[in-house]
A and B are shown apart, each in its own frame.
Chain A
């Protein structure tokens, strides 16, 4: 197959393509969420230690995963934009940041809601929780820095540098439960070891993670379309757009 990738890296070809992809990812997200919630609430058994409170895992862990994955993908796009001076890459990075911030917020709040009944406290300043809070500040810093610089190219470059420096925080979050003594429980699933949980719990969690993935792609595509319109308003391709020229 011979696809000309550079063709899709220009906003005027990517805009309609993204528009056609959004409904598919939205439906996939809905389907995975329904399946995940059904397995998580109707099939997965009660936990022998944590009772029903453990069911928070079905949003907490997928949200925490997404908060880290989105940051890495965002930094990757930012780096690509920095290296190639490609406008679409920078727009993708900008489109991912708010969704990453939202998942980080969800991971923090649901973690707090899980910590209160299990640990007896809403918050502790331990490695896992603190590094995840720093991740939220990195996202907010990226968004604020980019929106505070009027020149778009300079804003992209400044944002990309911040995003890249912040990447160091992601392995710190991931390994924090190994490197330091912490109140947070260790990973339930880790690479190279058998999962320490009942199969149905695991399947429910993975389905919810897939749902969040699909949701993230759909929402990032929606946002990148907005950014394209806002940035390139005066260019010819926007004026020729079917929703614009009518």
Chain B
């Protein structure tokens, strides 16, 4: 284990902003993409259902 304490871990040797911004942004982008696709898929299914019922 690399870290003496949780505080040291969060501090990232003084580079906390750069490191956590990078990982946070990556996580946000990927989660957003999945949620947007779920919404799109539900909408596509709903429209197809409407069309199938005539």
Contacts and interface: CB of A to CB of B under 8 A. Distances in A.
A32 B49 CA distance: 37
Per DSSP, chain A at the interface is: helix
Interface string B22-36: 110110011001100
Interface residues of B, number: 30
Interface in B2-54: 2-3, 9, 12-15, 18-19, 21-23, 25-26, 29-30, 33-34, 37-38, 40-41, 44-45, 47-49, 51-52
Per DSSP, chain B at the interface is: helix
A17 to B, nearest CB: 16
Given A114-B18, A230-B44, A239-B52, A222 B37 contact: yes
Interface in A114-135: 114, 116-117
A63 interface: yes
Q: How many A residues touch the partner, as a band? A: 35 or more
Interface of A: 41-46, 51-53, 55-56, 59-60, 63, 98-99, 102, 105-106, 109-110, 113-114, 116-117, 215, 219, 222-223, 225-226, 229-230, 233-234, 238-239, 241, 243-246
